[in-house]
Chain A
Amino acid sequence: MTLLPELYMLLFSIIFLFLSLGKNKIALFTAARGLALLGFAVALACSGARGDLFSGAYQVDFFSQVFKVLLSAGFTLIVFMFEKENEVENLPEFFMFLGFSTLGLMILVSSAELISIVISLEISSFSLYAVVPLRKAQTKRQLEAAMKYLFFGAISTGIMLYGMGYLYGMAHSTYLTDIMAKLPQFLSQPLGVLALILTLTAFFFKLSLFPLHFWAPDIYEGASDATTTFIATIPKIAATALLIRLAMLASFAPAQLATVIIVLAAFSMTLGNLVGLVQKDVKRLLAYSGIAHAGYLMMGLLSFNQEGNAAVVYYIAVYLFMNLALFYVVMLLSRRGENVSINDLSGLARRSPLLALTLAVAAFSLAGIPPTGGFTGKFFLFVTAFKAGHLSIVIIAAVNTVISIFYYLNLVRISYSRESEDLQPLYMAFHEKVLCYLFNIIIIYLGLLPFGLIDLFRRAM
């Protein structure tokens, strides 16, 4: 029971491994969707599971189960969103790799020991390295993206291992609990801070936090829409989970670490938003928006308490849905799998009012305008960071919100107020409409009625 979601994910991947061997491509989507939905149900059913495995290296607690539900919800939605057979080559393999990657991330959120962290992170990363080049539409760009992702990913893992080496040397243990318990002693030395920062590098990389953000725009642009959607959301959830687990184990608020986080967060959001202003490709734009959001997320980690961690989880949940919504609009717009530029959005409100509405809701949510979830999440982050005494980062984030509205609003403006020659109505199938409505409802729900979920997250911390 404790390992059921992970085992199910493994099963999912293996099924598609076998399907990829055969020639029969019929009902592949139906199979994937059905199985993914079942996986979500399994994750939900196992949310009450508790347990310690492998002498404490693997912890199944409410915290990890909440994240597994989130991961599996995101995975299921992506499987449902994705449907262009002509966009991705080798469809069964594609599902298999996504499954393996999600499996790795599910293991990651339960890991409480350095070696299992490394292994789970690598399971997830290697699957993604393989997925990035699986795109039909463009040939050179996706290969460039794949190479970059592989190299940068490998280097960041290397740096993490280097940092872990130091941590082990200092704490004489690979268990996070032991390391965090001894942290106060060696955080006073520069080496201690360095070791911790180096270890966190791989997670900052996944989150695309400054200064490990530079891969994001190229990979977002080069990979197929579905792959980008996955990379932009699911690994970030797991990386956040690990950062929170570390913050939970820290029994005090280390001032040196807080300073580092503030600087990284400030640079990340400012850089992301400023560069986002000039982007023409929607996916590149979203990459910079992701860099900025990684900065916002860091604000919640500053407080090192239950309230702050719950705010971070809330924000990453909102982030998942608003990003999925925006990527879905991109996917439906580019039926042939080409990249969507900002100008392709013109006349969208005429061509498909529902899609334009989804775009608007998602963009306003990313910008943090009420009554969307983006506002509520950001508000929680502001409160906790302010409460912890970090007014400076709150003001920087507030100003950044204003900068970012410029390019989010641009998306809405072009889709609503600019006319285009192509006035062909966009045909949307029934389930596509349902999915759009679902995203809109979830984003507004998270904005207006956060009380149940935030209490739940607080209990999980």
Chain B
Amino acid sequence: MQRHPGLVLSFIILVAILAAFFIFPQNFGLRNSPWRLGLDLVGGSHLIYKIDLTKVPSGDQNSVLNGLRDVIEKRVNLFGVSEPQVFLSRSADGDNLIVELAGIKDIKDAIKTIGETPLLEFKEVQGNGSSTEFITPLFTVNGAQVTLTGRHIKSAQLNFDNTTSKPEVAISFNDEGAGFFEKMTADNVGKPIAIFLDNNLIEAPVVQQKISGGQAVITGSFTLKEAKAMVERFNAGALPAPITLINQQTISATLGTNSLEKALLAGTIGTLLVMIFMVVYYRFFGVFAVAALIIYILLTLGIFKLFSVTMTLAGLAGFILTIGMAVDANILIFERIKEERKKGLAFSSSINEGFKRAWSSIRDSNISTIITAVILYFFTSSFVKGFALTLLIGVLVSMFSAITTTRLLLKAFIKDKPVSKT
């Protein structure tokens, strides 16, 4: 790097240009890969459900949670929302399920459907020529007709066959369920029984013989992963883990777009003003700071897009703030160079000294911002995490751009020829 400043600089500029193509492909007639924008910028709903696990035995909790997530994700996918997000989050006061739906207009149906308890059903299969019919058998208990559902299942477990060590799924029914299942298997020996969760067929094992005692084992040629997913779905449909909506945030697309436009406008104007300030105050050096700032912005946006960082309003604000901070290192360096020049050092050696002596304060001050960004990331809700992340990435890239880019620019363009005035 010391010997080939021009080469390294060309490389950085090349990467920045590539980043520009990557960030704004539509301006160059290329295919646009979309930004990941947060709900507060595109509109949508952010729902937090509290999962009540009090009735679930502690050993089954993880399985139930994953199964529940799986079930809710399947339901959410039915709304045709682009990239719905469903994830579990564990906080001090319990387990939460977070659902993010972007751009949905009528949230009412979504909320209603998500809140329903998963329905696990057992059905008989009747082949009718080429078509297959599923029939729910009815059992009579105390004169009332009931069906065999998830509430008759105590739990499901992943087991391994003793001899072949293939994965298998063991289901245990409660007393009532055991009776129903015994009758159902007796009627269907040699035929499959279809198991539905939320009207999705999850498995149709063939009955080998009548099963009494309420312990059923499903074997087959499935992988460990498939067997595990099946257990989770059974548990989600069987064990009662009711969810309640404790936090909802719905933002209309109008408001989201408005926020996005205003943030972009403020960011652009702010950046231009910073650039003007740098050129007016530091003249010749300021131009290099502006070039370094442009490279900084391109590289950072490129990283955000490359790693699909979700840009929320807070995240965007964090990035805009880093623009104001990114030139700080340049200011420290330029002031130091000015001082060294006053001491009578030659131009190129004053630049070297300036960088060397400004480094310790640049390092120390950026580390303090990194410390706060990391604390923010670990101590706050998901909305703030976006801010912390963009701030952190911004500070790291700005350190690089100030130290490396500006230095290379100065080295490449300044020779020890008499320069009239800076």
Same complex for A and B? Answer no
Residues of B within 8 A of A (CB): none
